[in-house]
Structure 1
Amino acid sequence: MKSIQIKISLILFSAFIIFSSCIILRQENKPTLFLIGDSTVKNGKGKGDGALWGWGSFIGTFFNTDKINVENNALGGTSSRTFQTNGLWEPVLAKIKKGDFVMMQFGHNDSSPLDDTARARGTIKGIGVESKEIYNPIKKKQEVVYTYGWYLRKFIKDIKAKGATPIVCSPIPRNPVKDGKVVLADDSYAKWAEEVAKAEQVDFIPLNQLIKDKYSALSAEVVKTYFTEKDHTHTNEAGAKINAAAVVTGIKALKRNKLRNYLK
């Protein structure tokens, strides 16, 4: 009788081990959506510090997380250049596997100076092959700086090499309320992001235009409530949720992109 109980216990234990292993394996085999970008994607630790929120903090609620992981690796203050040159891209790239997705949104900080003593994070305007050697006063060494488009192409090349799918987003618009009116201006970085995506034949989400379309249907009083009073760039929770919904609208329009299959 005792030997039978021992055998039953061993069978149950073995079944538990096999079941647990299957769950772990299934978790590891799930694709991941990686987000990279600046503070408009994730501000601070992504928990609303200072009432500032990025849309990446809410995008996960639109996905079936039983089937896909969502990982927000964006960092405030970064440009397409410094996300790479400050060592933020390498650890993300190391985790990317075949079947994953990487969504990028840069541009807000790329217009900064190339070599100022505060951030030294700017990129050369445009999408060409131009470059400029500068002295980086932050790192105290020489550095070759390239165009905004060059850095986006580098992301895309790295992602494709891992067998993953890159998705380029144009940067969200800044607060368009001026003198009590909604003034929607063109954004050069939005145009350049689209041009790079088209040239590299990767999917593009016209996030800048999608959000502006929403703003154009609203009053200045309402649009103003989506931003913080601290600056004209960062959204509060309500604004970030509006932007996250716009990203999802963009994903749904990507007819051949498998990422849309993981939406709720």
Structure 2
Amino acid sequence: MQAVYRFDFGPGSVASGYERVTEHSVYAPETGFGFVEGSRVYGRDRGTGNPLRSDFCIPVPATFRVDVPDGNYNVHVTIGDEIAPTYTTVRFGPNRMALPLLETAPGQFVRRSFAAHVDDGSLRLHFTGKAPRVNAVEIERAEQATTVFLAGDSTVTDQEVFPYAGWGQMLPAFFKTDAAVANHAKSGRSSKSFIGEGRLDAIVGKIKPRDFLFVQFGHNDQKSDEERHTDPRTTYKEYLRRYVDAARAREAIPVLITPVERRLFDEAGNLKDSHGEYLTAVRELAAEQGVPLIDLAAKSRKVIEEWGDEGSKSLFMWSYPGEFPDFPDGAADNTHFNETGGMRMAGLVAEGIRELNLLPLSLYLR
């Protein structure tokens, strides 16, 4: 099994020990790497002679795929241009944020790193930006990396339609290396239905000692259907306890998270309580079981109140007709976040990790 994958992007000379990648490098199973269908890529060589700086690919946008065994990887990306400023965003997997915006001045080069969790046999790196560049990529196995497994609903999951964003898909951007996020959250699930569909079992089959299991449910536990509904005084706590027990049985660390608040203001401009007794239940269970608690409900409430009734629309999926191609009629969603809101909520989770001093996880925060 290959431990390190090295790729030199651009039409110029190739650095020793690296695979050449040009704008014509289309993914094929035989090679196991390349740009996927639909990518728009150009190549340039500034002629300076340095193989990792002189030339580069311009992805506008593009997805670069590398077939690798499942597991955790540290990814190192080199970006820059000898004569022009660059602006590049890097995502990976379904749509997880890794590097929100890399900016370089003419002649400046940066090498940035992040951890990525792979569970489908391939690592997909998505490059976008108003002046994107990619000079080199190195991918190395991170066998000892800590994995943060996420169990949750649509406010956590990897949303794929821009600009929707769950906080779980933005969380990787807050780690450097050696802490990889495995986002198992799924839209519409409650603490009950997530287990009923075998999703907790899937996590248990992969989680290892000293990994983390972050659990946030509540939005759909309030639904009335039998498949999802739980009672905050009884069954909600019982189902959440199963996540705690499952993590501890594998010598992993459970972390309970109160459900993020909805954007619901009353006529006086005060934010309404979205979750009532469900919040009390999570807090009580954390205290009873000695489980670390990130009170995302309280943290998000403070942020939404600070932004105000009108201003907080900028955190949620509110848009005018024609503002986003996938929402031609606009949107008015008080539950789900756009990328700005998803990033802000992920930052609150990272803040909670730091406040709790969850070792070694807190050491890997940016």
* Corresponding residue of 1:52: 164
Q: CA deviation at 1:50?
A: 5.8
* Corresponding residue of 1:124: 231
Long gaps (5+) in structure 2: 1-73, 75-138, 318-330
* Amino acid in the other structure paired with 1:87: G
Partner of 2:230, secondary structure, is coil
Name the Cα RMSD after superposition. Answer: 2.1
Partner of 1:177, secondary structure, is coil
Q: CA deviation at 1:169?
A: 0.4
* Amino acid in the other structure paired with 2:238: W
Q: CA deviation at 1:192?
A: 1.1
Q: CA deviation at 1:184?
A: 3.8
Rounded Cα–Cα distance in structure 1 between residues aligned with 2:238 and 2:206 = 23
Rounded Cα–Cα distance in structure 2 between residues aligned with 1:177 and 1:207 = 18
TM-score (ref. length: structure 1): 0.76
Partner of 2:159, secondary structure, is coil
* Amino acid in the other structure paired with 2:179: I
**Fraction of identical pairs, as percent:** 33
The answer to which structure has the higher helix fraction is: 1
* Corresponding residue of 1:168: 256
Question: Looking at both structures, which has the greater relative contact order when contacts are Cα pairs under 8 Å and sequence separation is at least 6?
Answer: 1
Rounded Cα–Cα distance in structure 2 between residues aligned with 1:158 and 1:219 = 39
TM-score (ref. length: structure 2): 0.55
Does the CA-based 8 Å contact 1:251-1:260 persist in structure 2? yes
CA 1:242 to 1:182, structure 2 compared with 1: closer, same or farther past 3 Å? farther
Q: CA deviation at 1:25?
A: 9.4
Q: Does 1:155 align with 2:243?
A: yes
Rounded Cα–Cα distance in structure 1 between residues aligned with 2:282 and 2:359 = 18
* Corresponding residue of 1:193: 282
* Amino acid in the other structure paired with 1:181: G
Q: CA deviation at 1:114?
A: 4.1
Does the CA-based 8 Å contact 1:177-1:223 persist in structure 2? no
CA 1:256 to 1:246, structure 2 compared with 1: closer, same or farther past 3 Å? closer
Rounded Cα–Cα distance in structure 1 between residues aligned with 2:266 and 2:165 = 22
Rounded Cα–Cα distance in structure 1 between residues aligned with 2:288 and 2:208 = 24
> Aligned pairs, how many?
215
Rounded Cα–Cα distance in structure 1 between residues aligned with 2:360 and 2:213 = 12
Q: CA deviation at 1:78?
A: 0.3
Superposed CA offset, 1:167-207 (max 9, x none) = 00000001133448242426322221111111110100000
CA 1:149 to 1:248, structure 2 compared with 1: closer, same or farther past 3 Å? same
Q: CA deviation at 1:232?
A: 2.3
